[in-house]
Chains A and B, each alone.
Chain A
């Protein structure tokens, strides 16, 4: 009988000790905010364009985490983002929802500067402060900061903002996906075709 009692007491004591330990650590090592939202947010392209139907990238991230929003609504991120999200959330990667727009080549905004009347409307629209200018002065886009979100185009009263595709340079050129049967370089692997012969 006493053995049973001891066992029960020991278990009770253990439960108490671990409970306190866990309780303490949950306070002591409390994680601020929702780390999952942060992670999702960091995978989104941060153009803040609102094409997903949410007012920005973070709200979309919150919706994905909290409201089970579909992960295929971000056209600027495209399939790459969808796959990264699927990976993170451990769900099936689905194709981009065409309703929210299609994946497009990267663009940046250019202002036709002699037409700009300096109304500063585009500055107010740009979520990353990529436009430089002052009232009644010509405005210009800092290309390296522009995310290509399109938001400055609509507000311009004289329609002088163009979205131009980013040009590929030698440095930004990329190898494409290889196709089967393309002409490879490693070709002289079939020795004997009169190779050493004419030496």
Chain B
């Protein structure tokens, strides 16, 4: 048999003993049906497939059980019929010896095919669909990395494929799977090549085969006679590693694939001979890839031959079948002796790329003698098929000079092992390259990650900066808007007075009214002027503020009197009046109320500022605020009264909205006062207490207003009252809660900064909470009266507060733990009494919180007993208690002796609590 094409040669290469004859004596046998198969979800580089069946499902042979994810990934099919018994980690054939996700199928012994059918005439199908058809069959490279075949078939899309090379070299010792396949199934091989050729349309097809397979060559030639294919069977001299992709290309075409490129870049596509039959079966018979030919050989094997094995068969089954003498077997190798891997676990399954199992005896596979120093003999360099400098690479890898190794084309190394094979010093050269490659890949990955992190970090900094600027701008904007609004309001007030004054002559019937009104207007203007003077004086800190204030008060009284007179006069003849009159009046009153509010706000702000700076005249200011408040309320009351009295027809709806607005305003005031108080408390200002009192006062007022609102509503429209009222109340509750939260935060901050005001604040928080509770009760009562929904509502309310309590408890616990940790760190040397005291305090507080929480929970449990709705909550609580136990245990194990006692007690308590909770839980979940 002569070659029709010139055979080139590649650099280096070795001639290890072939050891192939042992396993070519017998024809391919069908391995017995395994009782269970283990299908790894990842049998190649790329992503693992995603299971599409679940445990317990019955599957048929050839059924899709796991679907490819992404481009480099392959479908997996059941190789036997039976039941999926598990999807779990299981040892897989991998260098790491690690476990990976596998799908395990227990056979039903029937070996029942799923319905399948080949394509009648694949040439009629569009190429894309044909490739997709092959992809669905899960065909992957059957030698080497198990690269999904369809990826290579797509290469025709963006590359010009001149040459198709079918790799039948099978250069590694021992392996004869391809050899036997060609001998016995040459038709299928050629059929598969036809399909690939149809897809890629190459100009030239070559089958590269080593000259140690004469029978296979003959079989191919015989089959070629009945085939329309025009291909060259190229016989190459036997040399390891002629089956390497780049080496075979060099042999057959003389072309060298440049470093870092793929063969398709030079117009060549390679396919493994085993893959061709898989494609053939998939396309012509519609059979997915569920079996392959595996050589079982080695001196310990009884029958050295090739088997057609179902994918997923355990090595143990296969070894048993070929009667391997286990006592003689020293090593079990998957793949060839040069590039394969040693496995220890026989439960590992055959996968799509498993071509050979070698059960080697100790004489056959002797242990490696220890490595010696490199003697710079240069033999490794002579045999390297990639024309590298193995010796140099070894130095770099050993010295961790990975950058240099990279520059010496480390990544061109195909890990063929030829250099290790010839090295007289037994240096594990390939292992060093693998290690170096992995390290370089890791470093690259880390660099990528670091760059990514830097980008994100910088983006974050930018964002923070931007947010700060935006906030500042918004603040400025708001200030400007507020000023504008104020000015507008003043203008409007003036306009109204003047315009109503102008319009009034038409009404004519009440001249004294007009008079009164202008009086009031004058009084107001004077008042305003005085106020301005006062603020001016205050801002500049001038003398005589007291007198100014006195005048202001007088003026205010006067103004009020005037307005009242006016209002009285107006309300008396209201019936005869033009309808516009009361409206105007109300408007005025309203604006008056608004002005009063604004004043109050200003004063409050001043007060806050003064308190922060610690001014002396805080008391005076406070008095002023109180006065203003009273006035504001009076104004508002007058307004609401006027509204009520004047226009009962205009519905209580408006009235309540107005009141509600007032309440909202007051609330914001309360909030402001609180925040002022918080800052004061944080800075440890002595004014904090007074402020707290002020806050309380404000809150009382708020409450009064709210009550008022409630009564007004109740009296005005009893029919819809309950509904409206409850919503209002709910809003109140929400506001209250917000307040409670705020207060708590403030308190927390105070505690953290160790401010002495913390305790008082805690008391304040408690008070607030009580109030909240009262409000909630009220709501519940109202609801209970009106609807049946009440119980569930109060339930949620209670759960909210319990949640808060729980958070408090856990926060406390963490704080306690942190302090203790600090203590433990100190413990070795000296003891810090202050810290101890702190811990004690914290613990006390924690206990208190816990007790509170417990109480709340007990209440909860009672509620649950009645309603049986809060099981979930209970469960979570139980889990938390358990967590507390573990935490305490952990702390205990860490703690020093002296701390042990107390911690043990705590642990006991926690345990008791956990038990209690658990038992409650059990009781309820029954």
- Contact check, A57 vs B454: say whether CB atoms are below 8 A apart: yes
Question: In the complex, what residues of B have CB within 8 A of residue A41's CB?
Answer: 454
CA distance in complex: A24, B447 (Å)? 37
- Using a CB–CB cutoff of 8 Å, the interface residues on chain B facing chain A are 16-19, 21-22, 42, 45, 92, 94-96, 98, 100, 173, 299, 331, 333, 337-342, 360, 363-371, 400, 403, 417, 420-422, 426, 428, 430-432, 434-435, 437-439, 442-443, 446-447, 449-454, 456-457, 459-460, 807, 810-811, 813-815, 817, 876, 879-880, 883, 887
**Beta-carbon contact of A184 and B42 below 8 Å:** no
Q: State whether B368 touches A115 (Cβ < 8 A).
A: no
Whole-angstrom distance between the Cβ of B893 and the nearest chain A Cβ: 16
Q: Tell whether A68 is near chain B: CB-to-CB under 8 Å.
A: no
* A186 contacts B337, C-beta separation under 8 Å: yes
Residues of the B chain whose Cβ atoms lie less than 8 Å from the Cβ of A176:
435
User: Contacts A157-B811, A181-B368 given: A175-B17 contact, CB under 8 Å?
Assistant: no
Among A2-10, A29-37, A166-174, the stretch in contact with B: A166-174
Q: Using CB atoms and an 8 Å cutoff, list the residues of chain A in contact with chain B.
A: 41-42, 44-48, 56-57, 80, 83, 87, 114-115, 117, 127-130, 145, 147, 156-159, 168-171, 173-178, 180-191, 193-196, 198-199
Closest A-chain residue to B883, C-beta based? A115
B368 contacts A187, CB within 8 Å?
yes
- A130 to B45 alpha-carbon distance, docked (Å): 29
Contact status A127-B460, CB under 8 Å: yes
Instruction: Give the distance to chain A from B337, nearest Cβ to Cβ, in Å.
Output: 5
A-B residue pairs, 6 tightest by C-beta: A178-B431, A199-B21, A174-B438, A46-B453, A175-B434, A181-B370
Q: How far is the CA of A196 from the CA of B18 in the complex (A)?
A: 8
Note all chain A residues with C-beta closer than 8 A to B438.
Answer: 174-175
Known: A147-B449, A169-B100, A175-B438. A180 touches B371 (CB 8 A): yes
Residues of A within 8 A of B807 (CB): 117, 158
Complex alpha-carbon distance, A130 and B453, angstroms: 10
Interface of A is mostly: loop
19 more A-B contacts (CB under 8 A) besides A80-B443, A175-B437?
A44-B450, A45-B446, A48-B453, A48-B457, A56-B457, A87-B403, A115-B880, A117-B807, A127-B457, A128-B456, A145-B456, A157-B810, A171-B42, A175-B438, A187-B365, A187-B368, A188-B337, A195-B364, A196-B17
Asked whether, in the complex, the Cβ of A182 is within 8 Å of the Cβ of B366, the reply is no
Listed A/B pairs (20) with beta-carbon separation below 8 Å: A41-B454, A42-B451, A44-B450, A46-B450, A57-B454, A115-B810, A129-B456, A129-B459, A159-B887, A170-B42, A170-B96, A178-B435, A180-B370, A183-B342, A183-B368, A184-B428, A185-B342, A189-B422, A195-B17, A199-B21
Tell me the complex Cα distance, A181–B371, Å.
Answer: 6
Q: Please state if B94 and A196 are interface contacts (CB–CB under 8 Å).
A: no
Q: A147: which B residues are within 8 A, CB to CB?
A: 449, 453
CB distance from A154 to the nearest CB of B (A): 8
In whole angstroms, how far apart are the Cα atoms of A147 and B810 in the complex? 27
**Min distance, Cβ B148 to any Cβ of chain A, angstroms:** 15
Evaluate contact between A185 and B95: CB separation under 8 angstroms.
Answer: no
Check A175–B417 contact: CB distance below 8 A: no
A80: chain B residues at CB < 8 Å are 443, 446
Bound together, the chains give a CA A33 to CA B807 distance in angstroms of 48
A155→B815 CA distance, assembly (Å)? 11
Indicate whether A196 sits within 8 Å of B432 (C-beta atoms), given known contacts A80-B443, A128-B457, A181-B368. no
Best-buried of A83, A130, A184, A190 by chain B (most CB within 10 Å): A184
Check if A170 sits within 8 Å of B431, measured CB to CB: no
- Nearest Cβ on chain B to A48's Cβ, whole angstroms: 6
Q: How far is the CB of B788 from chain A (nearest CB, A)?
A: 30
A3 to chain B, nearest CB (A): 53
- A169's nearest neighbour on chain B, judged by CB, is B100
A44 to B457, CA, bound (A): 13
Other-chain contact of A198, B299, B403, B454, B887 (Cβ < 8 Å): B299
Report B306 CB to chain A, min CB distance, Å.
15
Most B-side CB within 10 Å, residue of A47, A156, A180:
A180
CB-contact partner of A186 in B92, B98, B338, under 8 A? B338
B436's closest neighbor in chain A, by CB? A175
Taking a contact as CB atoms under 8 Å apart, the answer to whether B810 and A196 are in contact is: no
